Every structure is written in C-alpha cells, then in structure tokens.
C-alpha cells in the first residue's frame, strides 16, 4: 500500500516541473551583433544592435525564417527584449552561427562571446563569423534567391571549410585560441555583394580585437601555413626559369604537410629563428604554357619553379600577419614548447613576435600532369 502511495506522489510531482512546449519556443538559428554609433560618430559604450533569425514552416528545399531586431545592452538583454515582440520564449539551443560586424569586432567581441559561452543551451560548435560591413544588415537584407539567411550561411561555411577556403571556427576553438598565450584567434569573413553572400577572406584577431584580414584569394595558402591537410586547390603564377616566361597553373587535390622548427639563437639574441617547412603535392588541373612535362627534367624544373613561387606567396602572408600584430599561425605555441616555462615567460613573446625571424621552405611535387600536350 505504501508503495502505491509513493508512486502516485511521484507521478503528481512531474506536473510541477517547469516545461517549455516546442510550439511555445522561438528557436533562433542565427544571431547578428553590430555596433551602435552615437551622434558624434563614436560607437556606443553601452548599446549594440542585435538581430536574430527564427526558422519558420517551410519545405526542405525552401526553408524560410522570420527576422527580429532590437537595440540592447547585451545579447541576453536582446533576447529578453525580442521575446516581448512575439508570443514565444526565445531560446538559443538551435543557434548555429553568430555574426559580428567588423566595426564591433575592432572594439573587441569577448563580452558578447562570453555571454553565449555562459549560456548552457548554446553548443560549443556555434560558428563564429565576421561580416565585412554590418552583420545586422546581412541578416535582415531581403535576398531574391535566399529564403533562409541563417541556413544559407551555415551551408556556405560548412561547404567551403571542407576545401579549406575558410577556417572552421567554433565558439570552442575561438575561446581556446583566445586563452592560448602562443596563438591568436581567426574567423571566416563574409560580405554582401549585390544580392548574394560571399566569402571575403579570413579575419585576423589580436586577443579579441579584429586587426586585419587575409583576402579570399589567399585563404587556401593561409591554410597551408596553418595546418597539414588534404583537399583543396590553388591557382599559382610562376616564372618558368627554362623559358624565362611567366606561366600559371591550377593545382588540385592538394595534400599539404606542415612542420614548424624552432632554432634557438645564441646569447646575443633572445629571439629564436622559426622555419615553417611545407611539403606539398597535387595534380595539375589547368596550365598555361608550352611545356609538355613528358621529360623528367621538365617535371623536376616545374616542381622547383612552383616551390619557389608558392614559397614567395607564403612568406608574404607570414610577413602580413606579423605586421598586423597577431600570432594567428600559432608560431608561439612551437616556441613555447621548445623551452622551459620560465624561459617562455621571460621571453615576452607577444612583444618580440612582430620582429621574429620566421622563414618558409617549400617542397612541391606534382603527382599528375593531366591532359597536357
């Protein structure tokens, strides 16, 4: 008898738990955050512009969404204000991407990121994206061919990350790099062009502040410097030293292996020398030139010419990143691992990094020459 009483009591308690029925929830899949500018042209220190996209009923081939917008003091405050505009409770459990306008990113985005990081309903795979322009405008723009902006952005980033046209940057990886004293974060960059959304390169950060970018044409080259990977293609112009003519080739099916070597200097200099050694292989997809590459000597010369051309481009990217001031290639992590923790702290890597001697070496091997005649 007592057992039955206990069962009835426990069943009655289930009705006392706070429940959110799915039809009463507004589940946003994309959020956008921008600076708000005062009359004097300076960004507000308290307010920001926030917009969210909420998917609504549609077909798989034709997804649609509602866009809500407000001015708030924080993302959490924004969700509260937007909840008052609809008859649903806004939740972030389905949030896939958060867009930051470039002007806001220049000021620093840590406070906004921290708000999402502390929300237990937000997954660590949340994509971090920088917009070259206004993030809110990108989300609220009426596109002729894009029905669901959030879904389109998510698919675009997922697709381009597979071929290393953009880095796959999540809330987890951005926060990890932010706290790492040997690396600074990066993020994919998008832009509205006409009536479409396009990849605009890679945003470079120093701590949580936007400091510059890698152009869309150089994103795969940046990936070669940043990590080892397979899949991707590059279009490279090079000097054919045998003929003395400039030629170009598209290399596809790239397999790239990166090795970072730290050479400690003598007592005269505390700055270590760093070598980024790249071993690259791929297939010739397109070629503008008169060589047939049927002879081993021609093939060897091509490998050498491509290696030098790629090395020059990679070295230019390293110099650009150093001038920007952020260690976005994570060179500091290798320097740190090459010495004791005490020596690392005494080195003050952040201050000497822009002057560090970082050299690139490239060894290219072409596996297949295609249908060149």
**What is the full per-residue pLDDT of the chain (373 aa) written as tens digits?**
555 655 545 555 554 444 444 455 567 889 999 999 888 888 888 899 999 998 876 555 555 678 899 999 888 888 888 888 776 667 666 899 999 999 999 999 999 999 889 888 888 899 999 999 999 999 999 998 888 899 999 999 999 999 999 999 999 999 999 999 999 999 999 999 999 999 999 999 999 999 999 999 999 999 999 999 998 999 999 999 888 899 999 999 999 999 999 997 644 467 889 999 999 999 999 999 888 888 999 999 999 999 999 999 999 999 999 999 999 999 999 999 999 999 999 999 999 999 999 999 999 999 998 765 5
How far is it, in rounded angstroms, from Cα 176 to Cα 84? 35
Helices (H), the chain: 2-13, 75-83, 102-107, 110-117, 135-140, 149-162, 171-179, 219-226, 296-324, 331-337, 341-347, 349-352
Tell me whether strands 97-101 and 89-91 are parallel, antiparallel or unpaired: unpaired
Sequence-distant (≥ 6) Cβ neighbours of residue 151 within 8 angstroms: 29, 55, 63, 65
How far is it, in rounded angstroms, from Cα 329 to Cα 222? 9
Distances (CA, A) of 86 to 52, 54, 89, 138, 297: 13, 11, 8, 22, 71
Against a cut of 0.85, is the pTM above it? yes
Helix (H, G, I), strand (E, B) or coil at 130: strand
DSSP state of 14: G
Helix (H, G, I), strand (E, B) or coil at 9: helix
Tell me whether strands 186-193 and 273-288 are parallel, antiparallel or unpaired: unpaired
């Amino acid at each position: 008898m007592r057992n039955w009483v206990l069962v009835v009591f426990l069943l009655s308690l289930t009705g006392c738990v706070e429940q959110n029925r799915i039809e009463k929830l507004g589940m946003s899949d994309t959020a956008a955050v921008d600076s708000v500018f005062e009359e004097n042209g300076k960004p507000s220190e308290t307010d920001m512009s926030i917009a969210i996209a909420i998917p609504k009923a549609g077909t798989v081939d034709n997804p649609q969404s509602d866009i809500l917008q407000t001015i708030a003091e924080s993302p959490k405050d924004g969700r509260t204000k937007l909840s008052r505009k609809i008859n649903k409770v806004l939740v972030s459990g389905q949030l896939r991407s958060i867009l930051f306008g470039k002007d806001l990113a220049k000021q620093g985005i840590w406070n906004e990121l921290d708000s999402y990081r502390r929300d237990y309903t937000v997954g660590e795979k949340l994509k971090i994206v920088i917009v070259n322009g206004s993030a809110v405008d990108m989300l609220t723009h009426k596109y002729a061919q894009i029905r669901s902006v959030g879904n389109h952005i998510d698919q675009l980033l997922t697709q381009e990350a597979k071929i290393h046209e953009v880095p796959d940057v999540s809330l987890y990886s951005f926060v990890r790099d932010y706290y790492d004293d040997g690396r600074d974060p990066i993020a994919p960059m998008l832009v509205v062009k006409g009536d479409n959304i396009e990849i605009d390169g890679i945003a470079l950060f120093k701590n949580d502040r936007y400091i510059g970018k890698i152009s869309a044409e150089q994103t795969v080259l940046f990936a070669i410097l940043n990590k080892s990977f397979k899949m991707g293609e590059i279009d490279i112009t090079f000097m054919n030293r045998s003929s003395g003519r400039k030629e170009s080739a598209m290399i596809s099916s790239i397999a790239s292996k990166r090795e970072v070597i730290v050479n400690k200097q003598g007592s005269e200099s505390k700055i270590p020398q760093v070598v980024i050694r790249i071993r690259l292989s791929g297939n010739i997809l397109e070629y503008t030139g008169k060589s047939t590459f049927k002879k081993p000597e021609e093939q060897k010369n091509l490998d050498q010419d491509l290696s030098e051309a790629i090395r020059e481009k990679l070295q230019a990217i390293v110099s650009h990143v150093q001038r920007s001031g952020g260690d976005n290639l994570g060179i500091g992590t290798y320097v740190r691992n090459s010495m004791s923790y005490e020596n690392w702290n005494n080195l003050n890597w952040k201050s000497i990094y822009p002057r560090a001697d970082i050299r690139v070496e490239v060894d290219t091997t072409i596996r297949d020459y295609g249908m060149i005649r």
